[in-house]
Structure 1
Amino acid sequence: MIRLDEGSPREQLTRYLLDHHGIRTETDLSLGQRGLMWRMDRRARTIFLSRILPAESSTFWMAQALGQIEHQAVFARTIRRSRLRESEARGLARVYLTNYFAGALLLPYERFRITAHEVRHDLERLQRHFGVSFEQACHRLSTMQRPGSEGIPFYFLKTDIAGNILKSFSANRFTQSRFGGPCPLWNIFRAFSTPQQVQVQLSQTTDGALYLNIARTVGRSSISYLDRPRLTAVVLGCSIADAEHLVYSAGLDLNDPRMIIPIGPGCRACTRENCHHRALPMVGHRVDVNNEGRGIAPYRTAL
């Protein structure tokens, strides 16, 4: 089993795949044009990687391929023990297992947890230290709940610019919207107006919980005027009780209520009245329309 040392994880994986499995890695421009990130040709003993991928993404796909090569039996046994019966569900389970393996290989649990604590969860420093992307560092932090060796309970969410939820994990009380899109006051949407810059926010959800949220756009840049890369952003959040352990709390007055942004679970489920950003009435409640005057919205929700 490979153990990645400090240095370039891509170079180490390239060498390991060749030395231990006789598998070469090559880049292929046509993969991106066909909508593929990578593919494995077992007959040619070659892993082809899309040339348009950032280095961190290429490394992740190499780690995923290694997981399929060395631990296919483990993944199959885990899936057999599950309650999944549909072939589509079992296929997706295999994808998620290989994804988790890749993240664990690139970001070893204890070393990553300790380093994250030492740098006060500075995501940019973790990126450089482990040679991973901003998103990969955020995602891994949201999974650090091994009994007896827990990290800070984070939630993690990824969305596109239209508000479609692409990934969502939570190790704390935070839950995503079940009806409609997420709250527009959330800083994950502010991140789209300042690409590649970290947005920090103190927020309060409708259940009274307070969070420190860190958001930033992620994904590859355009490779051509005619290219249309997917516009996505991620947010990582923790309870305000843990904010002192994050470098992003520096300079924030955590006790000033004026700094706290009230966010909701999406308009359909949000109980906040007179919200300037409400787009839809709350589901299950009567709408009160006043024809002789109006507030911010053309109706009031009778709670």
Structure 2
Amino acid sequence: MAENKIFAGPRVRRIRNGLSLTQTAMAEALGISPSYLNLIERNQRPLTVQLLLKLASVYKVDLEELQGETGGGLAQLREVFADPLLAAELPGDQELIEVAEAAPNAAGGVVKLYRAYREQAARLKDLADLLAGQGHMEALSGARLPMDEVRETLEARPNHFARIEEVAEAFHAALSPGDDLIGALKAWLKKEHGLVVRNLPVHAMPNLRRRFDRHSMRLFISERLSPHDQLREIAMEVASIACHEAIVQELETLRLATAEARRIGRFELARYAAHALMMPYGAFHAAALRARYDIDVLRARFQVSFEQAANRLTMLQRPGAAAVPFFLMEIDNAGHRLRRSGASGFPQARFGGGCPKLNIHAAFSVPGQILVDRVETTEGLAFLTMSRTLDGPQAGFEERVRRTALLIGCEASFADDVVYGAVRSPAIAIGAACRLCERQGCLARAEPPVTRPLGLDEMATGLSVFDFQ
């Protein structure tokens, strides 16, 4: 059987440095030349059995130390470089192994620095949430990604853009699509701009929802998308052309700092314009009042998805024709927040949205079913919430289905105007988020509050995992 070669140069160097020996002195004691020892320390020559035995006898070295893995140091470095910020930096583990072996103290320092960074980021987030929960503006200035800037800007303002609404409603009236909006939009694109819409199979466009080919003047739509999402993609293309000036004007009001943020903001406004085009304000507002905001009735009436109809409800704030001020939040099954919006901005300070007892989390256990709850915050504010799962693009046989959950809510004072308000179950006690909530004995608590010291008592244990004073 072939003998495994042992390359342990950095470990030999550490032994030599620990004994304050020169390469010449160690080489003489081992009966080899200094140049050969130099090659060993640079991992250009393996350790022979004779050299292993010599190291063990002369310097009392444990052979396991020379033959073993890098152990915890390598595992901790893997944890650091698994972070999304660093995941693409290394093609494999080889460089991590070299660092862990050659410079274990430096590797330990990198791990400590990374963990301090994570802890500091968590503390800053807690502080920002606390300030927001107290109604203060977030004065923390830090490096933000352009997507974060756009999200925070849109979440803090009403989800209503008057210029886009007016232009989209006028365009829809002039188009007069009848019951075939998608056909009318395709015909307009072809007639006015020579642009042809085509559906492409998954193998031809595996990673895109849509793509505009300027050379052939064709708009390709993925067949992964549902008919409702295909309609929205086409409507976005039309809105980008027909509502261009209105989108530019509304984009200026957002005052986004960077070109990348403005590009993302322009995309979000085009999506908004698509909804306004698919569900014109006047007709949708009238239908919403008649149906008492029954989302399933509205989705059938306008031939859109549940998500599109629910999203449109948060936009109905035209002066003189305003509707119930709904707010909306979408998460994935890992709890990551994907978006938040509202008729008056997302009510972060009053509603929070981070409580694990909200029905948006329970929705994943009953896909497709609407869950309705009345909830009450620690400040005594009451809300009516409706949650339901949403299915993403069609997955292939070997792919995992993408499913998110949507929560749409309003203040409980509007419950009599909403069909879902007929549910009269007792109010569920919620908090803004575990780190900001001071409810005692909460079975759902996942973290201790930052505002109270932990109550560590060996003689008594409370119902919550994290007891506090």
Q: TM-score, length-normalised on structure 1?
A: 0.90
SS at match of 1:61: helix
Shift of 1:230: 2.1
Q: How far does the alpha carbon of each residue in 1:173-213 deviate from its partner, in whole angstroms, 9 at most, with x for none?
A: 963489x9821110111110010111111111222111111
What is the aligned counterpart of 2:444 among 263, 271, 277?
277
**Residue 232 of structure 2 aligns with which residue?**
60
**Residue 301 of structure 1 aligns with which residue?**
468
**Residue 432 of structure 2 aligns with which residue?**
265
Give the Cα–Cα distance (whole angstroms) in 2 for the partners of residues 261 and 82 of structure 1: 36
The letter of the residue matching 2:406 is: V
Question: Aligned pair 1:188/2:355, yes or no?
Answer: no
**Residue 249 of structure 1 aligns with which residue?**
421
Higher-helix-fraction structure: 2
The letter of the residue matching 2:197 is: T
Give the Cα–Cα distance (whole angstroms) in 2 for the partners of residues 69 and 298 of structure 1: 55
The letter of the residue matching 1:223 is: A
Relative to 1, partners in 2 of residues 1:280 and 1:126: Cα closer, same or farther, differing over 3 Å?
same
Give the Cα–Cα distance (whole angstroms) in 1 for the partners of residues 240 and 393 of structure 2: 29
Q: Is the 8 A contact 1:144 1:150 kept in 2?
A: yes
Q: Is the 8 A contact 1:32 1:51 kept in 2?
A: no
Give the Cα–Cα distance (whole angstroms) in 2 for the partners of residues 176 and 82 of structure 1: 19
What is the aligned counterpart of 2:379 among 196, 202, 207?
207
Question: Aligned pair 1:127/2:294, yes or no?
Answer: no
Higher-strand-fraction structure: 1
Q: Is the 8 A contact 1:153 1:238 kept in 2?
A: yes
Question: Aligned pair 1:238/2:410, yes or no?
Answer: yes
The letter of the residue matching 1:91 is: R
SS at match of 1:182: coil
Relative to 1, partners in 2 of residues 1:46 and 1:221: Cα closer, same or farther, differing over 3 Å?
closer
Q: How far does the alpha carbon of each residue in 1:69-91 deviate from its partner, in whole angstroms, 9 at most, with x for none?
A: 23334433443565323111111
SS at match of 1:259: coil
Q: Structure 2 unaligned runs (5+)? A: 1-170
Cα RMSD (Å) of the superposition? 2.3
Identify the range of structure 1 (196-205 vs 1-10) with the bigger mean alpha-carbon deviation.
Answer: 1-10
Aligned residues: 296
Give the Cα–Cα distance (whole angstroms) in 2 for the partners of residues 139 and 39 of structure 1: 24
**Residue 219 of structure 1 aligns with which residue?**
391
What is the aligned counterpart of 1:16 among 180, 188, 212?
188
**Residue 242 of structure 2 aligns with which residue?**
70
Give the Cα–Cα distance (whole angstroms) in 1 for the partners of residues 177 and 299 of structure 2: 15
The letter of the residue matching 1:35 is: N
Give the Cα–Cα distance (whole angstroms) in 2 for the partners of residues 244 and 32 of structure 1: 50
What is the aligned counterpart of 2:215 among 43, 47, 57?
43
Question: Aligned pair 1:103/2:270, yes or no?
Answer: no
Shift of 1:33: 5.6
Higher Cα radius of gyration: 2
Relative to 1, partners in 2 of residues 1:82 and 1:278: Cα closer, same or farther, differing over 3 Å?
closer
Q: Is the 8 A contact 2:393 2:402 kept in 1?
A: no
The letter of the residue matching 1:130 is: F
**Residue 124 of structure 2 aligns with which residue?**
none
Q: Is the 8 A contact 1:6 1:130 kept in 2?
A: no
Shift of 1:140: 0.9
The letter of the residue matching 2:428 is: I
Relative to 1, partners in 2 of residues 1:221 and 1:174: Cα closer, same or farther, differing over 3 Å?
closer
The letter of the residue matching 1:58 is: Q
Identify the range of structure 1 (76-85 vs 135-144) with the bigger mean alpha-carbon deviation.
Answer: 76-85
